[in-house]
Amino acid sequence: MSKAIPVLNASAFLAGDQATQMQFARDLRTAFETYGFVTLEGHGLDEAHIHEAYTSAEQFFGLTEEQKKTASIAGVGGNFGYTPFGQEHAKDDARADLKEFYHFAQTRYTQPECAEVPAFVTSGRRLYAELEGLAARLMEAVALSLDLDRQYFAEHVKGGNSILRVLHYPPAPDAPDDAPRAGSHEDINLITLLVGSSADGLEVLDKEGDWIPVQAHARNLTVNVGDMLQNLTGGVLRSTTHRVVLPPGPQRNQSRYSLPFFLHPTGPMPLNPIMGDASAYPEWTAAEFLDHRLKEIGLK
């Protein structure tokens, strides 16, 4: 029997009674302790909005390099705007990932416009807001699963440094078999919400050292623990290594698009371990943690 990450129905928490919500929280903790990942159905996101975001992303990344670079912003560590192909790499891999991307951030930042594909910015902003709201609700479930007040994370994630990353992995027919579309890595943030993808390729490393494929499914979300949450919980919740691999054969001639939302807290949030193995994890703020990691992956 092949391995697979657990599937949970988010409506049990979003619309359930107290008992149902607590059961969802317990199931979520089990998944995050075991795999660090979970597939969510019943999340309530508008499928039409997701479709429009993917469609406009394909149009944006189809622009010329000169057109796309007008949406780049210097000196922000890739936190928002366009980042060209080959600039980011996994923290322990000097090879550049085979990808380019665009970040949507909080509305307090001036978002680069795209005159050629205006729907790209409008659809991205709308999806950002929907994902931010859903992520905040899921953090209530995380808090309950850790026997914390359900609003424990609320003040930290409201107005935090969250980003929606619109990813394009271009065709790579001549790349070596081990070339990373996204090298083996862990996410920096609290939790990540991945809105499907246009093709398979995501793999998760389990405790036994096996790589588990995560099937692309536009209707479901893939949610995973980031390093910040792992640090805060002293390793109780796992930030699991994952990667995006090249597909075999003719599929390498196709682009892959992906929409991960990275839930970040505000910079002052302390990430000092409040449980688990406190001695194994440093004491620092979210801002210090983020600065350190952006330097490791080549964005700062």
Domain assignment present for 271? yes
Q: How far apart are CA 293 and CA 239, in angstroms?
A: 14
Report the DSSP pairing between strands 211-213 and 256-263. Answer: unpaired
pLDDT recorded at residue 93 = 56
More confident residue, 219 or 209: 209
pLDDT of 25-69, one tens digit each? 999 999 999 999 999 999 999 999 999 999 999 999 999 999 998
Average pLDDT, the chain: 88
Output 132 or 293, whichever has higher pLDDT. 132
Mean pLDDT is lowest, of 108-117, 131-140, 214-223, for 108-117
- 90: Cβ contacts below 8 Å, ≥ 6 apart: 97, 180, 182, 183, 184, 185, 297
**pLDDT confidence of residue 79:** 66
Tell me the Cα Rg of the chain.
18
Weakest mean pLDDT among 91-100, 114-123, 195-204: 91-100
pLDDT in tens, 226-269: 999 999 999 999 999 999 888 777 777 888 899 999 999 999 99
Could you tell me the sign of the dihedral formed by the alpha carbons of 174, 175, 178, 181, in that order?
negative
Residue at 2 is within a domain: no
Question: Is there a domain that residue 193 lies in?
Answer: yes
Domain annotation covers residue 1: no
Q: What are phi and psi of 33, to 5 degrees?
A: -75, -35
- Which pLDDT band, with edges at 50, 70 and 90, does 183 fall under? confident
Residue 88: is its pLDDT beyond 70? no
Q: Decide: 29 and 237 in contact? Cβ < 8 Å.
A: yes
- Confirm whether 245 is domain-assigned: yes
Residue 147 lies in a domain: yes
Q: What pLDDT does residue 218 have?
A: 64
| CATH code for the domain in which residue 116 is found | 2.60.120.330
- Contacts of residues 25-29 at CB distance under 8 Å and 24 or more positions apart, as own/partner, are 25/141, 25/142, 25/144, 25/145, 26/145, 28/138, 28/141, 28/142, 28/145, 29/142, 29/145, 29/146, 29/237
Question: Residue 64 falls within a domain, yes or no?
Answer: yes
Distances (CA, A) of 152 to 8, 37, 94, 286: 23, 21, 38, 15
In a domain, 44, yes or no: yes
Q: What are phi and psi of 144, to 5 degrees?
A: -60, -35
Q: Which domain holds residue 145?
A: 7-296
Q: What is the pLDDT of residues 216-229, one digit of tens each?
A: 666 789 999 999 99
Look up the pTM and report it: 0.91
**Count: domains in the chain:** 1
